[in-house]
Amino acid sequence: MAGKRRADQSLIDAHRSSLKSQRLVHSDIELSAFLSASTDSVPIHTRLWRRAFIDKLGIGARRKESPESLIKEWSLSVLPEECLQEIRTMLPKVATCFRNVDFDSLEEIREAVMCDGLPTDLMKLVKFDTDFQYPGSQGASTFGARAEDFIFTLAYIMESCREDEHFLKWQYQILFDKFLQIFGLKTIQQPFMKTQKSLILKKAVNSEPDILCMTSDPRKGRSVIAVCEVNVKDIKSNERVDSSSSPNRMQGSPSDVNSSVPAVSPDSFLACHLGELLVYMDRSVSPRAVLGMTVEQTSVRFTLLHADESMLERIKKSDGSVRFDTEEEERPMFYYSKPLNYLKRRDRLELMEALLQIRMMQKRFEQ
């Protein structure tokens, strides 16, 4: 185990160094776009996408209250009752493993450790059940072993960040990657993935999400389970209904808007993520939808872009903008769930159930 932890720490250090180089590349992208952009241009990278550009693509938006309803819309495979019962049986064991982990943020954990409210050895927070295996696991790959990796990474992040320092994107990114792996999801993250390219409004657009959840065989053309993007800033405080905005903003209708949440918010983060989903449609395991997740510090939203082949062709090959006659035809739809904090006990059970459903669907899909 000591050798495994040293290997994990080496990976974390290498990842931190590589992300510094990655930020320089993104700065070059921003500068290049600033120098060459016009109001009618197609942004060359999805990190430059904003709501104003999304509006040109004719994509609707709707909030799904629960991740479960969004995942059913994705429906990679239909889970029979026995599979759902297996998930319900797993959940109490999962909850017991993390019963002492109940925090709002990494800052709260750091403060608790400094004030002796938590043991300095964070590994004591988790009750490891090494006999419990997640769906489709093989050999010694147990839930407890993966959970231990997650807590070790959390402890390393606490140790490496001083009291007066902000937690950085690479720390949130690698911690969420470890959280996904608890459930047997196979992931690859930046900088260990190639830039994906797609045609949007007849122009080539690049995309580099932070994390990809993959099938067991990434060599297949359609091997992407989910596209994940991590954001350091807490954007939930920006979610307010703008009573002065047009009801057609982001192609959402008034009936799509929850009483306390706009059709899509905030502008830049979800617009960039929607662009990533659109670019990765051709690699999604489902030919009609691509699943995603956005991570705002430690709060996770599930997202879904639903579009059939004819819709995608119009977005790829149209000039200027795309319009769908919503009275006569369907249009692409972007769905997103409420945020769930994986450090918070009351949120985590619903989040874990959703991830177990995704893993179970993947298992049945690959059989």
Above 80 in pLDDT, residue 247? no
Above 80 in pLDDT, residue 27? no
Above 80 in pLDDT, residue 26? no
Above 70 in pLDDT, residue 230? yes
Q: What is the pLDDT of residues 185-220, one digit of tens each?
A: 999 988 788 899 999 999 999 999 999 999 988 888
The chain-wide mean pLDDT, for the chain, equals: 77
Q: What is the DSSP letter of 294?
A: E
CA torsion sign, 61 to 294 to 364 to 96?
negative
| Whole-number pLDDT of residue 267 | 60
Higher pLDDT, 154 or 327: 154
The structure's pTM equals 0.80
Integer Cα distance of 174 and 157 in angstroms: 10
User: What single string gives the DSSP state of each residue in 31-99?
Assistant: HHHHHH--TTPPPSBGGG--HHHHGGGT-EEEEESSHHHHHHHH-SSPPPHHHHHHHHHHHHHHHHHTT
| Whole-number pLDDT of residue 207 | 94
| Whole-number pLDDT of residue 262 | 32
Integer Cα distance of 97 and 116 in angstroms: 22
CA distances for 67 relative to 20, 26, 104, 348, angstroms: 33, 31, 20, 12
Q: What is the pLDDT of residues 104-142, one digit of tens each?
A: 999 998 888 877 666 566 766 666 554 555 555 555 456
Higher pLDDT, 243 or 292: 292
Above 50 in pLDDT, residue 281? yes
Integer Cα distance of 292 and 210 in angstroms: 11
Report the residue count for the chain. Answer: 367
